[in-house]
Chain A
Amino acid sequence: MTMKIPYYPGCTLNTVAKGFDATARDAALTVGFEMSELKQWNCCGATFPLTPDNLIALSAPAKVLSNARKEGDTVTTLCSVCYNVLKRTNKVIKDNKEKRGVINGFIDSEYDGSLNILHYLEVLRDKIGFAKLKEAVKRPLKGIKAATYYGCMLLRPFEDIGIDNAEKPVIFEDMLSALGATPVDFPNKIECCGAHLAMNNTGVVEKLSGNVMSSAVGNGAELIVTTCPLCQYNLEKSQKKLIEERPGYTGVPVVYFTQVLGLALGADINTLGFEKNEYSIMPLLHKKGIVPGED
């Protein structure tokens, strides 16, 4: 029987990043698990409050957790920020009895912090296994030099998140290797894209995301793979400036990891949402002979 894992999509995957959600669900079924969307969920708040006195801000994610617990002992999610907020909130509730009482008081629940929060990448690594994933590959991404962009929220702070080493993570590279791609190491892979400053400080975002792109491309990347819709947005948008400034630079595709996962697992190319990416992956796929055709 297919393993069913309760799934928290979050706001962004339910709106502008629907393709991230859809490709993840399809790929899950192909490798042997079903993501069953929580019956009831709300926005996680999109940022973990960094001041420990700000307990009211934990009520939204706590509500998500308390509802998720009714459906099992595990919940999985895709967006790096949702993952970070849920996991950190859960730790506060689990470890701090006093805060647990206050937070539960806000949302009229008795949640105890007993959920296991897994990022989709963790499900692939720990529940399915990258060796088994490799066996399921039908369309190996041979010859594609792909940069794995972790950003911040998937990794930090280490003691709360712990998905992998915070300075030298490998989970993302290991997944891409299983798909047959060649992961590209680059210095900025754990540096910030500029995040919410996209709202009012695009200069800083262009600089930060521009640094990430230059560092990745400078190290040979032909494709950038992300786990976060905001990283994806900032990295795409920042390239306009790079194109203006650098003769010969024409832009590099920035895709969700589930898009290339689906691609490698043999999904119909038209279901992977590549047409939504500002810089198309198709010329690269044609060039490498992964998808027949030419441009």
Chain B
Amino acid sequence: MKIKLAKEDIENPRIQLIERVSGEDLRRCYQCGKCSAGCPVSFAMEIPPSQVMRFLQLGRVDEVMNANSMWTCVGCLQCYSRCPQGVSVAAVLEATRQITLRKGTDHEKIKDVPFPFLKNAPQQAIVCGFRKFVS
């Protein structure tokens, strides 16, 4: 497949929004892959961390927005801790999550959360989960 890249594609307003919300300069990533190697949930992500960066560098916002990666990221900061460029993929993924939630779209329905979890899980898991998944 041939992908045609124009400057407008790379610098589109959605990319700019992700950069503004995350506070990250997407172009700093030089694709070494250390984030994906260190990320404990790469295996479960449709697009692993370093590829999230690459897709966004190429202006491909939809691919990233439609992938499960932002909902699978546990926010453990291994990516940031190991990135030689000081990039936080965690912040970029959180930005895409925030942009989605700020539209009022929930990822998790409160009524679907299993009762035993609500009853037994540490409060911090419930508070954190709702903050990550509910607008």
Contact = CB atoms under 8 A, between A and B. Distances in A.
Given A12-B123, A50-B90, A157 B77 contact: yes
Nearest to B113: A199
A156 B77 CA distance: 7
Contacts, number: 135
A198 B121 contact: yes
B22 interface: yes
Contacts of A16: 120-123
A51 B21 contact: yes
Contacts of A191: 40, 76, 78
17 contacts: A17-B122, A45-B127, A46-B123, A46-B124, A46-B131, A51-B21, A52-B22, A81-B128, A156-B80, A196-B74, A196-B125, A200-B113, A200-B129, A201-B44, A204-B72, A207-B44, A233-B120
B128 A195 contact: yes
Q: Give me the 10 closest cross-chain CB pairs, A-B, nearest first.
A: A199-B129, A192-B76, A46-B127, A50-B94, A11-B123, A229-B122, A52-B23, A196-B128, A156-B77, A46-B128
Bin chain B's interface residue count: 35 or more
B64 to A, nearest CB: 15
A36 B123 CA distance: 22
A230 B124 contact: yes
B36 interface: no
Majority-rule SS of B interface residues: helix
Contacts of A82: 124
B90 A195 contact: no
Bin chain A's interface residue count: 35 or more
Contacts of B108: 199-200
B16 interface: no
B58 interface: no
A204 B131 CA distance: 19
